[in-house]
């Protein structure tokens, strides 16, 4: 087993994860995959989703919704329930490969939390945990050999021939999880269909979901700075012209203060403000990719205008993640784009930048605002082909790791062993000891996880604000209609043919190219495979 330290955190990783179907994976050749069957356009509708069975016995302080607003809790239950009473293993050892974020944990022999989790599993799970920066190289080296781990993280981008690998080496989980079959694993059954839809590959359930909050949001802003220019609620901004005027007021280059600054111009913010499709738009069975729309051109033209006017911090498009965070923390920029999960953590923006707030959407052109449903899963986990008995044991492991908030197992996985890793305050909340970090960073949560819950003890105001943000955005949520579809052409060369459009867009915003250059790149995308991808998705919609 190897667990290596990484300086990359989860919010950085979100940028690289392919949320949904494998439309972003490039199909090449993977050693050992053998002959592949013909790949056909398909969607989540081609398989029955696992039956949803909500977990019982826990009342949230702020209720979630069936549409995806997470439930919120101010305190941990004083008497948590044990959701898995019988260990799924009987002395077996299985293996896994996944990412790790943060410092490496104490080894198994010096880690009481690790030991207790494996005691409850009834066996061992040897984890090879790899930094995000090294993951693509490590996993392809591992998978090219014959010793493939039993559980394999799919980050949506690192495995070149993902469908070939699935067909040759991974377990089709449909018969184990589809419909009522999932009831054998109650914690997995408590994960809503929204998340399971993201695990369908080539018309089958090929993976386990690692759920996230649904919407990544539009980033964050400094509420104090915005209040100084008369804005206390960003959703009340009238239109793009008013927003540009606000950006002007927020900018004072001589004082080293700008309105906006983000890696690659933070285009996700502007795409949502201008109503750009969340990847694809479907109308009466016809599909349109985001780059083909007038809204796309309007959004990037607005960003180019703001950049030319000096409202976007010069050079910020080339920032690293840490540079962006530092610029927002020290007040150089009043707004950034980053994922909403980065807000309500102990070291998140809400705590480190007390004046920060989630940026709520307005409609740049008038009408109904938009928030993308673009943070549905963190990643998914595949299971190596095996006999039915072994597959059921691996699903038993996943069932324990998916124990929901309020259970003993959730407390153990996230906070460790009481006494060694935490004590409990009068309200029942775990208070970490000095050993907690080193014992609880084993990446169980990056193999399987429950549906999300909002919880940050001692920060009720942060949880309320986060819940309000989700409650405001989820009803405005726009899904990617292709997220649960499969296009062979997109899988084989989607990334490659989109890159010139992305490059031309960045160059246009920076002033190095014109809007006509962007349009020419879009036209080239269509002939290079874009039109074929569209037809395959349209076919998959009818499947």
In 416-509, which ranges are continuous DSSP H helix?
A: 436-440, 460-473, 488-509
pLDDT at 251: 98
Query: Do residues 353 and 329 touch, judged by C-beta distance below 8 A?
Result: yes
Quote the pLDDT of residue 41. Answer: 52
For helices 294-308 and 515-525, give the axis angle rounded to 10 degrees.
Answer: 150
Give me the residues of the chain with pLDDT under 70, please.
1-45, 543
Contact 478, 372 (CB under 8 A): yes
Question: Phi first, then psi: what are they for 219, rounded to 5°?
Answer: 95, -160
Answer yes or no: are the C-beta atoms of 397 and 222 closer than 8 Å. Answer: no
Q: How far apart are CA 174 and CA 190, in angstroms?
A: 17
CA distance 494 to 325: 31
Distance CA 269, CA 287 (A): 23
- The phi and psi torsions of 47 (rounded to 5 degrees) equal -140, 145
DSSP 9-71: -HHHHHTT---SSSTTPPP---TT--SPPPP--EEGGGSPPBPP----S---SB---TTSPPE
Q: Please tell me the predicted confidence (pLDDT) of residue 57.
A: 75
Q: Please give the pLDDT value at position 27.
A: 27
Separation CA 312–CA 253 (nearest Å): 10
């Amino acid at each position: 087993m190897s667990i290596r330290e990484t300086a990359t955190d989860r919010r950085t990783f979100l940028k690289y994860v392919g949320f949904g179907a494998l439309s972003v994976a490039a199909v090449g050749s993977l050693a050992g995959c053998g002959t592949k069957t013909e790949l056909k356009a398909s969607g989540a509708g081609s398989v029955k989703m696992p039956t949803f069975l909500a977990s019982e016995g826990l009342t949230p302080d702020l209720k979630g919704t069936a549409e995806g607003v997470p439930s919120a809790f101010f305190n941990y239950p004083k008497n948590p329930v044990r959701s898995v009473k019988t260990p799924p293993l009987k002395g077996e050892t299985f293996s896994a490969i996944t990412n790790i974020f943060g410092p490496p944990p104490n080894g198994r022999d010096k880690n009481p939390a690790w030991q207790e989790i494996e005691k409850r599993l009834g066996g061992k799970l040897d984890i090879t945990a790899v930094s995000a920066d090294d993951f693509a190289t490590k996993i392809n080296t591992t998978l090219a050999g014959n010793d493939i781990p039993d559980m394999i993280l799919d980050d949506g981008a690192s495995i070149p021939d993902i469908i070939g690998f699935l067909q040759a080496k991974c377990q089709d989980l449909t018969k184990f999880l589809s419909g009522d079959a999932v009831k054998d694993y109650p914690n997995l059954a408590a994960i809503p269909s929204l998340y399971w839809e993201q695990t369908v590959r080539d018309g089958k359930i090929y993976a386990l979901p690692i759920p996230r909050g649904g919407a990544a949001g539009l980033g964050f802003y400094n509420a104090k700075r915005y209040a100084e220019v008369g804005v206390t609620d960003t959703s009340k901004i009238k239109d793009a012209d008013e927003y540009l005027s606000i950006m002007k007021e927020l900018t004072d280059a001589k004082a080293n203060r700008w309105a906006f600054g983000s890696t690659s111009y933070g285009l996700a913010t502007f795409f949502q403000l201008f109503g750009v499709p969340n990847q694809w738009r479907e109308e009466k069975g016809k599909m349109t990719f985001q780059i083909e729309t007038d809204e796309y051109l309007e959004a990037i033209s607005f960003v180019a205008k703001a950049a030319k006017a000096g409202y976007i911090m010069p050079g910020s498009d080339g920032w690293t993640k840490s540079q962006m965070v530092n610029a927002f923390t020290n007040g150089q920029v009043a707004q950034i784009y980053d994922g909403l999960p980065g807000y309500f953590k102990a070291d998140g923006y809400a705590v480190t930048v007390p004046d920060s707030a989630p940026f709520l959407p307005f409609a740049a052109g008038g009408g109904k605002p938009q928030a993308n449903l673009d943070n549905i899963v963190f990643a998914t986990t595949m299971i190596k082909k095996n006999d039915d008995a072994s597959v059921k044991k691996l699903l038993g492991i996943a069932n324990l790791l998916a124990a929901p908030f309020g259970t003993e197992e959730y407390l153990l996985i996230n906070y460790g062993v009481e006494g060694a890793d935490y004590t409990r305050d009068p309200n029942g909340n775990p208070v970490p000891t000095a050993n907690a970090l080193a014992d609880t960073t084993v990446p169980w949560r990056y193999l399987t996880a429950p549906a999300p819950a909002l919880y940050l003890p001692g920060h009720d105001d942060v949880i309320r604000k986060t819940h309000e943000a989700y409650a405001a955005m989820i009803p405005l949520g726009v899904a990617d209609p292709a997220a649960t579809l499969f296009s062979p052409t997109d899988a084989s060369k989607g990334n490659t043919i989109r890159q010139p459009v992305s490059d031309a867009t960045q160059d246009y915003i920076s002033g190095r190219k014109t809007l006509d250059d962007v349009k020419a790149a879009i036209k080239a995308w269509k002939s290079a495979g874009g039109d074929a991808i569209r037809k395959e998705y349209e076919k998959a919609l009818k499947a």
